[in-house]
């Protein structure tokens, strides 16, 4: 039996649009968003994908499995669109659902029509709230949004309902070595938190070494232990030559006093000459 359509994302958008940051700016003010929305069953022929879709592989990401699930259980959430011309709509979020309906040969799809000129911002809100956007895709979308709109991290945090610290750490994963960024989407078991911890290590060789372990079960706790060990090693005082030189200078003075007092035997002179030769060898002289 098909499940009832879940329209909870209408409330989700209203909460996200009205969300206010510590500086008092809301998403509505920052991005020109509107809480005006309505439901409609829209022909697929009147809908076009969003060219700025945050998901890089929306059309190819296991559409067959999603289509089979929809055929069995029905659509659980409507797609989200905006009207770009009379009876012409662009997808804000839900492109995988759109392609699944297309694969099933369905002529229409339930849609939530949202009044906005900022497709990218709302697409990001929807994907973040659904918690199914890969951290690297989310970071890239946020980074692009920040660059295009001249935002500060606090404003980006308002958009997705996270802290400024979270946004800073999320953007940090874009600095991971290229190989890790390319391989990470194929390893959904590696959490955003673990990628953030790896990014904060800063050393590419260590990051790549730990990445191999991350693919087979490395935990956030393990990475933090490595960070603590590196921090402890960095804070340990490095060996200093000054105490050695200070002691040597003092002993040279004592030896001079013994020489002047006539207390150095020939055997002791030979030993001092051997020490002098050893010092010359160390200095390469």
pLDDT digits (tens), the chain, 285 positions? 344 554 445 555 555 555 555 555 555 555 555 556 788 899 999 999 877 665 555 555 578 888 998 999 888 888 888 888 999 998 887 888 999 999 999 999 999 888 766 666 666 666 665 556 789 988 988 888 788 777 788 877 877 778 889 999 999 999 999 999 999 998 988 999 999 999 998 888 899 999 999 988 899 999 999 888 887 776 655 567 777 777 888 888 888 888 888 888 888 888 888 788 777 777 766
What is the C-alpha separation between 165 and 153, in angstroms, rounded?
A: 9
Same domain, 135 and 97: yes
Same domain, 71 and 103: yes
Same domain, 128 and 183: no
Backbone angles phi, psi at 272, to 5 degrees: -65, -40
Same domain, 136 and 258: no
Domain closes at, from 141, 157, 185: 141
187-217 as b/e: b if 16+ CB within 10 A: eeebebebbbbbbebeeeeebeebbeebeee
Going by C-beta distance under 8 Å and a sequence separation of 6 or more, which residues neighbour residue 278? none
Q: Is the pTM of this model over 0.95?
A: no
Going by C-beta distance under 8 Å and a sequence separation of 6 or more, which residues neighbour residue 110? 5, 39, 40, 41, 75, 78, 79
Establish if 69 belongs to a structural domain: yes
> For residue 106, what are the CA distances in angstroms to 1, 48, 67, 214, 255?
18, 15, 11, 41, 100
Range of the domain at 195: 176-235
Same domain, 18 and 103: yes
| 95 catalytically annotated | yes
Residues in the chain: 285
Q: Out of 48, 95, 148, 165, pick the active-site residue.
A: 95
* Structural domain total, the chain: 3
């Amino acid at each position: 039996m098909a499940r009832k359509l879940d329209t909870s994302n209408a409330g989700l958008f209203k909460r996200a649009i009205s969300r206010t940051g510590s500086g008092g700016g809301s998403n509505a003010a920052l991005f020109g968003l509107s809480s005006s929305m309505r439901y409609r069953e829209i022909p697929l022929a009147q809908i076009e994908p969003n060219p700025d879709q945050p998901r890089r592989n929306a059309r190819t990401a296991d559409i067959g499995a999603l289509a089979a699930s929809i055929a069995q259980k029905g659509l659980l959430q409507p797609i989200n669109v905006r009207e770009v011309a009379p009876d012409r709509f662009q997808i804000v979020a839900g492109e995988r659902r759109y392609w699944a309906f297309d694969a099933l040969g369905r002529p229409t799809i339930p849609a939530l029509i949202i009044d906005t000129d900022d497709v990218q911002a709302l697409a990001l809100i929807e994907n973040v709230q659904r918690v199914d956007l890969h951290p690297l895709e989310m970071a890239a979308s946020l980074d692009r949004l920040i660059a295009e709109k001249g935002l500060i991290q606090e404003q980006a945090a308002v958009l997705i309902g996270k802290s400024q610290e979270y946004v800073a750490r999320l953007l940090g994963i874009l600095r991971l070595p290229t190989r890790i960024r390319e391989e990470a989407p194929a390893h959904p078991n590696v959490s955003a938190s673990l990628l953030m911890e790896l990014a904060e290590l800063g050393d590419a060789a260590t990051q790549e070494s730990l990445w191999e372990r991350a693919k087979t079960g490395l935990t956030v706790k393990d990475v933090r232990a490595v960070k603590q060990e590196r921090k402890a090693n960095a804070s340990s005082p490095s060996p200093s030559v000054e105490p050695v030189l200070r002691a040597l200078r003092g002993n040279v003075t004592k030896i001079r006093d013994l020489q002047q007092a006539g207390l150095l035997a020939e055997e002791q002179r030979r030993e001092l000459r051997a020490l002098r030769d050893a010092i010359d060898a160390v200095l390469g002289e």
